[in-house]
Structures are given as C-alpha cells and as structure tokens.
Amino acid sequence: MIKWASFEGKTVLVTGASSGIGLSMVHEFVQRKANVVLVARSKDILEEVAISVRKKGVQATVIPMDLGASTAAKELYDIVISKGLEVDLLVNNAGYGRWGKFTDFDRSDYNSMIQLNINTLTELCHLFITDMIKRKSGGIINVASTAAFGPVPYANVYSATKAFVLSFSEALNFEYRDQGIHVMALCPGATESKFYQKATEKSAATSSNASERSSSMRYMTSEAVAKKCLDAFLKGKIYLITGSDNRIMYAISKHLSRKTMLNLIGKMFGGLVNQNN
C-alpha cells in the first residue's frame, strides 16, 4: 500500500459538502491545499463555499445534485468526466438516518435511506475506482458511524447501512491496496451537525427534549472529526473511530457478548426514544 504524503494538489470530491462533517472536510482539505469538487443539493450554499475556497488559492467545482436518486451516481460521474476532472480522492459523506421505532417511518423513507447510504455510495466507488486502478493511484473515504459496529435498536436500518459501509470499505481496501489505492472508513460518534435534526424529523421528538439529550451527550465538533479523519488517512488507517468515549465503548464491546451489548444499547436508546412518547 502506498501512503499519501499530503493532499496538496490533489482533487477531492466530497458528497454532502454543504454542512456538517462534509463541509468541515472541505475546509480541512482546502487548508491542506487540495482542490475540491463540492456535491450536495443546496446550490446556493455550495456556491458560497466555493467562493470562499477559491480565495485561498485552490480550485472549487460546484455540482448541485440529489444523490438519493437511483441514477444519481452515474450522472455525477458523467458530469465530472465532462468537466475534465480527475478525482484523486472520493469522499462519500452524504447520508442520513432515522431515530425511533421501526414502524414510526414509512417504507419509502427506508428505501431512500438505503439508496443513499448504500447503493449510491457503492456505485460511486465502482465508477471512480475504475479510473484509479488505471492510474494506479487514488483513495476513497467512506463515512460510516460508530453504529456500524453492532445493531442499534431504534436506529435499526441506519445502523445496518453503516455496518455495510464499514465492511465494504475494509474489504475494498484489501482488494486494491497493492494497486496504489487506499480506502478508509470514518466512524464518527455524536458530532455537532444537522444529522440529529434530520434523524428525528417526522418523529415525536420536541426541541426541548432534543436539547436535553444534546446536553447529556459528549459531542465532537465536525471540524475536529474532519482533521482527525484526514490525519488518519495519511497514516494509512483502514478505519477511524473518533472520540475517546466511542473508542472506549468499542474496546469494552469486544469483551462482551452480542446479547449483552444489544441489551445495553437497546435500553439506552429506548429510554431516549420513550422520552418523546
């Protein structure tokens, strides 16, 4: 496996680049002198980000797109190629989750989540890694979650999609590590972003209860997550768990049975969900 010396001069495509971890990654890449391709639904926000980025002497390309559509991955790839861009690093950050009982949400909502979190991510990897293989150089960062390490009651479909992302990323890295391509999974825990707002919309959560929950959880900033992620990638890490609490929990989980962990996590999240009912 070839470790990257830096991101300087590289072209990095970031999905979900308009807010949260994705936006923080964009700024961190720019600080490290990488050119960026910004992908998200919010064209106006992306244009504002691009303007600020270009002032720092790097190139920024805006591609507004809803990656939740079944044809989105190929459409995005075709646009990138038509612009003459050569993506050195693909960052699959776009995704969302739901927090509540399984039947609280419609099947169509879960289908959309699976399409974005799994199908689009997989297709983008397949499309861009083919070019990387030809160049014998490239990288992919897939954003998973600490929820990837085991079943999470009340976030059951979401945790399952992130388990796919982690497993897929590790296997992909093994297959192509000798061809100059490095694949890493980022597994953040609670992070200051719009993710929680998205995860609880349509549920019974109220703003007051959300505030109480937030105060009881130790959040990392998206900026801190982005910096640690890029540092870990340059070190050749295969996956990264951000946050000391999350790493401790992961270490403990390896010494407990799956049934015990399921009961612990289920009681914890079940109590939070029941606060809203």
DSSP assignment letter at 160: H
d(CA 251, CA 264): 15
* CA-based radius of gyration for the chain: 18
Which residue has 């490290």 as its token pair? Answer: 32
Which stretch of DSSP H or E encloses residue 134? helix 121-135
Distance CA 250, CA 150 (A): 10
Q: Can you tell me the distance from the alpha carbon of 32 to that of 30, in angstroms, rounded to the nearest whole number?
A: 5
- From 158, 176, 196, 239, the catalytic residue: 158
SS3 267: helix
Write the DSSP symbol of residue 123: H
How far apart, in whole angstroms, are the C-alpha atoms of residue 50 and residue 61?
Answer: 7
158 is catalytic: yes
Q: Cα–Cα distance between 115 and 68 in angstroms, integer?
A: 6
- The residues carrying an active-site annotation are 158
